[in-house]
Amino acid sequence: MNRITQKLQEDKKILSIYFSAGYPNLNDTVPIIQDLEKNGVDLIEIGLPFSDPLADGPTIQASSTQALHNGMTTQILFDQLKNIRESVKIPLIIMGYFNPMLQYGIEEFCKKCAEIGIDGLIIPDLPVDVYAAEYKAIFEKYGLINVFLITPQTSEERIRFIDSVSNGFIYMVSSASVTGSQAGFGNTQESYFERIAQMDLKNPQIVGFGISNKETFNQATKYAKGAIIGSAFIKHLSENGSRKIAEFVGEIR
């Protein structure tokens, strides 16, 4: 069974952390992953840096740019992660844009992910209908879960289609904007979380965008299975390097 599927079956709220591979320093990727697991994070999204990250806010864009300047590439990331399963047991997801994966070769990319022990992918610019028609069989061949995003503006029909072709969780974007942390969620977002919960989808939802602290984590997980923290963690890395990860996670849980 895929590690994501196993994790989602646990009777707990999922804390997922996102960071850009190769940031703040090129060789920080694996130590950060190991530290996050050691401090109780349930799932990690490893950002594959890209030069034109359209869905990302300024904090993640800056970390992605710095990682590219540090020399991070798809192949270097795979090389860094080749022995990751000797020390890390929790689910790992690569989040990135489709262009670098196309350049690498989709089947070769998926094969490499499977060899390393990557459990899934999040590709914001790969439309779900294109995935279903052209790539789903390849992902399934290599045991990879592909995670799709929904927003408050996504129609019920499309949400149900995404649910029908998904086999992990649905990434529920908290608002129709780019990534970034915020102070809290208002009534509009709370209503959105509740509306999606009442759709009774077969895949659980994990909320991303705007989660930065214990308050927003608890708000997001009132109706959803878990929440993803990205920008706030990257800001923490910017200020502290790869140190004090225990403090950061401890303030969320």
pLDDT single digits (tens) 20-37: 999 999 999 999 999 999
Which position has the higher pLDDT, 148 or 60? 148
d(CA 234, CA 112): 26
d(CA 85, CA 175): 34
d(CA 179, CA 126): 18
CB 220 within 8 A of CB 178: no
d(CA 37, CA 210): 22
pLDDT of 15 higher than 80: yes
Give the count of beta carbons closer than 10 Å to the beta carbon of residue 209. Answer: 26
d(CA 19, CA 209): 13
Residues annotated as catalytic are: 45, 56
Beta pairing, strands 43-47 & 170-173: unpaired
Q: What is the structure's pLDDT at 108?
A: 98
Q: What is the structure's pLDDT at 56?
A: 64
CB 217 within 8 A of CB 9: no
d(CA 186, CA 180): 15
d(CA 172, CA 34): 26
Q: Which fold has domain 13-252?
A: TIM Barrel (3.20.20)
Q: Where are the domains of the chain?
A: 13-252
CB 10 within 8 A of CB 247: no
Q: What is the structure's pLDDT at 70?
A: 97
d(CA 126, CA 221): 26
pLDDT single digits (tens) 35-45: 999 999 999 99
Which position has the higher pLDDT, 100 or 183? 100
Residue 127 contacts by C-beta under 8 Å, 6 or more apart in sequence?
Answer: none
pLDDT single digits (tens) 140-199: 999 999 999 999 999 999 999 999 999 999 999 997 554 444 556 888 888 999 999 999
pLDDT of 54 higher than 90: no
**Mean pLDDT score of the chain, rounded to an integer?**
94
Mean predicted confidence (pLDDT) in 213-223: 94
pTM score, whole prediction: 0.94
pLDDT of 53 higher than 90: no
Beta pairing, strands 14-20 & 226-229: parallel
Q: What is the structure's pLDDT at 187?
A: 87
d(CA 165, CA 161): 7
Q: What is the structure's pLDDT at 183?
A: 56
